[in-house]
A and B are shown apart, each in its own frame.
Chain A
Amino acid sequence: MIRPTAGRGNAGTLHFPDVSDLADPLLEVEDLVTSFRTTRGTVHAVDRVSLTVNRGQTLGVVGESGSGKTVLSRSIMGLLPARDVLRSGTVRFAGHDLTAMEPAQLRQVWGAQLSMIFQDPMTALNPVVRIGRQITESLRLHLKMDRKEATATAIELLRSVGIPSPEQRIRSYPFQLSGGMRQRVMIAIALACAPRLVLADEPTTGLDVTVQAQILDLLAAMQQERHMAVILVTHDLGVVAKRADDIAVMYAGRIVERAPTRTLFAHTRMPYTRALMDSIPRLSDPSGTRLRAIGGRPPDLIHPPTGCRFSPRCPYVQDKCREADPPLRTAGSPDHLFACWFPLVDGVPSGPSGSGQPVTLTTNGAPNNAVEAPAS
């Protein structure tokens, strides 16, 4: 156990009771839009994203570089630049609307209830502050610990993330640690106050596989211990395959497919998701096997293509795709959402539909009950 006082009822949660029903999702994001005003135009980095995360669950978010994964997680947190940002939509966290909160209230949520592991441990740790203090400051702030108690807790935290001789390490500066250690310190900071939800933004990029495995295992263990929910942001499908309960695939600021992990891998609907999976080199393939890259480039988020945003790169593109924007909808299992006019069935696109109505699909004998997504 990390910290005896962790959990509900600690000092930090007093101001922030969980007002939602335990059966309700912990996090509900609805129509979240985040755009940046730049001199070139408005960058629609996150475009009408809706998602939910249940208590104790892991949501994997995957997508190409620049698809808006980081902006999404920062937008959920509310950690966006002060200027030239447009954000709309709602983020309900434990029954509270984070978008409607005053900064002072948000500060009580941040770190204590909702925390974030930043993409780059190199830059996210303050280079001139000892790691000990970087951990203890939130303990002291949210849990009102005194210095001694906080230090002891920080040592425990470091030990639990697998840092050897934490008593000494606590006095180290970030530059004195290896990349893997820094990453773990970041995790320790994020977990310090036993938050209900951790947004882990590519926690393992740049680490080699052995260290990566260690870190992911650690996260999973803590999740179990604390019934903590995690949003695992990554572009590595290999990482989410075994770690996430659900997976959301992002493309050009939107969620284009969302399903429980197994379902997604087994019955990929979106050609984009498929293409992502196909471009991964497989160990089972012999050396020199040609990879199946996605042709073209990700779209310009200032002037996104009309119709389906993936249409310019989609191998199965049809006229309709270029004209109309496919809504997020379900087919087959109700928890498998996708945004495609001609979703894949067993790896081949379903036939064109002249009606413009969502195609009804039958997969794996699932009932034929396609539902239009509640999106706008």
Chain B
Amino acid sequence: MTGPAATPGTNAGSAAEAPVMLEVEHLVVEFRSGKERVQAVSDISFEVRTGETLGLVGESGCGKTTTGRALVQVQPATSGSVRFQGQDLGRLSKRELRKTRTRIQMIFQDPISSLNPRRRIRDIVAEPLAIWGTGSAEERAAQVRSMLESVGIDPDTAGDRRPQEFSGGQCQRISIARALMAKPSMLICDEPVSALDVSVQAQILNLLADLKAAFGLTMVFIAHDLAVVKNVSDRVAVMYLGKLVELADSDDLYRSPAHPYTEALMASIPEPDPEHVSTHEPLTGELPSPLNPPSGCRFRTRCPYVQDRCASEEPPLREVSPGHQVACHFPLRQLSPVPERPAATTV
């Protein structure tokens, strides 16, 4: 199954031709504590086109959140650049950056803590307008109302209340509403659904899809639930220990992962179906410490297909098929094309 990617989803039709909105080059983020340095993100590059949704997946602690925060410049990059609509965000002055803020927004991993517990929902959502002094008080109130309505929150009962009076799902929607009030062209969503139960999760994913359709929103969607990522993304990037290991169209990636880590990820997905039989051995071993990552390929310590070369040489990210990049010396696509999986049985 080589060749062009399968027909993209309904909403990704023009993504490939669309102009690049976000361009990440050689991004490195380091945390320092005392003498120790943790490279949470080590040298990753990717781009996101206008109107596209890029999914970002990977093991817990691999640097997804850090990447997301570096994109919106709340986490300073150690090196590398983030270009947004042609501007290098890292080089902007404080004032210029502040102006750019409205166009690129982030939904934080923990929706509850990203809302000020002491402020009323109405004020929180109106904050972007208040900051920029947009419109009169009444205009703002009207905008807040319509935005709350569109994220499925009743503005009449909710407006006067404070975040802690809402469930996680509602908080998530409120923080989405706030992010959208700024009318961004790009939205970074950091695990917006991981703590939510399936029904709330479904509501939010639908909402994002609607927004994307309505506003042509460009998104980076971070999650660890692969089914969710697949559902929302046009393309998916897989991270492992601070590195980008695979990047492909989502259907393509799920159909035939080229990196052993991606394959292991797919295999570990619990199917909500008691009849489903898993074909792969689950991944074993602990995530190596980012303090001293393994030499060569970082996945080699847990890779079932490891070879000598993996320890000595770091695999570069390269294309195995058009639009499908992988960082592996022995990508699964070349060694043995993965047989198409039997369609999961549904009830």
Residues of A within 8 A of B (CB): 63-66, 162-164, 178-181, 205-214, 216-217, 235-239, 241-242, 261-262, 265-266, 268, 275-277, 279-294
Contacts and interface: CB of A to CB of B under 8 A. Distances in A.
A217 B282 contact: yes
Q: Of residues A163, A206, A212, A284, which shows the largest number of chain B Cβ atoms within 10 Å of its Cβ?
A: A284
A288 B233 CA distance: 7
Given A181-B286, A241-B272, 17 more contacts: A64-B197, A65-B196, A65-B197, A163-B286, A210-B268, A211-B59, A213-B268, A213-B282, A236-B272, A261-B274, A266-B347, A280-B198, A284-B343, A284-B346, A287-B234, A287-B251, A288-B231
Contacts of B206: 290-291, 293
Contact of B270 (A214, A238, A290, A291): A238
B232 A287 contact: yes
Interface string B224-260: 1111101111100000000000000011001000000
A216 B60 CA distance: 17
B216 to A, nearest CB: 15
22 contacts: A63-B197, A64-B200, A162-B284, A179-B61, A180-B287, A205-B194, A208-B265, A209-B226, A210-B59, A211-B60, A236-B198, A238-B270, A241-B274, A242-B274, A262-B275, A265-B273, A277-B272, A283-B227, A283-B266, A284-B343, A287-B250, A291-B206
A213 B270 contact: yes
Given A164-B286, A237-B272, A287 B198 contact: no
Interface of A is mostly: loop
Contacts of B232: 287-288
Interface stretch (B8-16, B18-26, B79-87, B140-148): B8-16
A287 B230 contact: yes
A242 B231 contact: no
B253 to A, nearest CB: 10
Given A290-B206, A291-B202, A239 B270 contact: yes
Given A283-B226, A288-B10, A276 B198 contact: yes
The bracket for how many chain B residues form the interface is 35 or more
Interface in B187-240: 194-203, 205-206, 209, 224-228, 230-234
Contacts of A162: 284, 286
A281 B167 contact: no
Contacts of B284: 162, 214
B111 interface: no
Main secondary structure of the interface of B (DSSP, over half): loop
A126 to B, nearest CB: 22
Contacts of A66: 167
Contacts of A281: 201-202, 205, 225, 227-228, 230-231
A233 to B, nearest CB: 12
Contacts of B313: none
B60 A279 contact: no
The 10 closest A-B pairs by CB, nearest first: A288-B9, A293-B202, A238-B270, A279-B202, A235-B197, A208-B224, A291-B202, A209-B268, A237-B272, A281-B231
Contact of A265 (B200, B266, B274): B274
Given A210-B265, A235-B198, A276-B198, A178 B60 contact: yes
